[in-house]
Structure 1
Amino acid sequence: MSQELLDLIVEKFNTLHGEESIVESKLNFGKPMVILGTEKWDLATAKLLHDDEQLQFDFLTCVTGVDYEEHMEVIYNFYSTTLDQYLYVKVNTSREEPTVMSAEPIWKSADYMERETFDLLGIDFPGHWRLKRILLEDDWEGYPLRKDYITDKKALGLD
């Protein structure tokens, strides 16, 4: 079923955005995964995943970010409680101005997770209702999970 679901998702994304909408699609640990550029992750794509009768991804289980030095990535893990199916969506963005449209208007569970990703990696989520630091103090400088983040390990007692 997973390959059929992946094929269906690719078909629907291509119908919505055109043939070049997906950077890569494959099964990841037996579950469908698609990789998109940030320009293809928009409200229409999110609504498609949530509202389409064949998809019904009504539960966003996890949002996280990764710094790969050459680019950054936001990973969304979705589950359909109605159809018992999973999907991973990876959205690539630049390191210089990392921006990924917020999923929070569609899935309220994205609220805290996108704020955490913003706080620790500096990825901006336009459309988020209240994007601000959630773990670190407001005047904290930098983003601790970035590979180029410099710490004074001695001052932190880590040396």
Structure 2
Amino acid sequence: MVGLDPTIHSRERRHPKWPARPRRARRSNAPQEDPMPVNKKHDEFYTLDMTTGWEVPAGYPQGIKQKIISGALDEENRGGTRTRLLKFDPGVFTTKPFEHEYWEEVYLVSGDLTVGNDENGDGGETFPPNTYACRPPHAPHGPFKSEKGCMLLEIHYFDPV
């Protein structure tokens, strides 16, 4: 069995049979010893305050709220990464499909989520907790509804990260 070369720095460690990954140019001319390509701070485990920091995202109906956990997404300049919780109150639904320019990973933490309902909130396919979706930029998705309410964990990022 071929192992990893322990003399290679962990950021450069790769399997000996895999080709080397090309290095990306830095976006800043400022000298950096160990640049982080992601705009998130290092956070160890801590308890989230689930009572504050919730807001209705732009373009969403009342009853759907987000709490940004980490990072920020700059949609205008197509940069950044964001991790957020998205909460649907019971009975809330959207009426039109979504499409955006960033990658999106979605994990249904709790509750029910229906995908593909009509403008009246009827129909669609319902998913239980512990379901996951990964969407590339410009993938149409939705509309969405939740009968009993739900909590989603979402990660958004532009390519390349």
> Could you state the TM-score of these two structures normalised by the residue count of structure 1?
0.24
Query: Radius of gyration: which is bigger?
Result: 2
Q: Which has the higher contact order (CA 8 A, sep 6+)?
A: 2
Higher helix share: 1
Higher strand share: 2
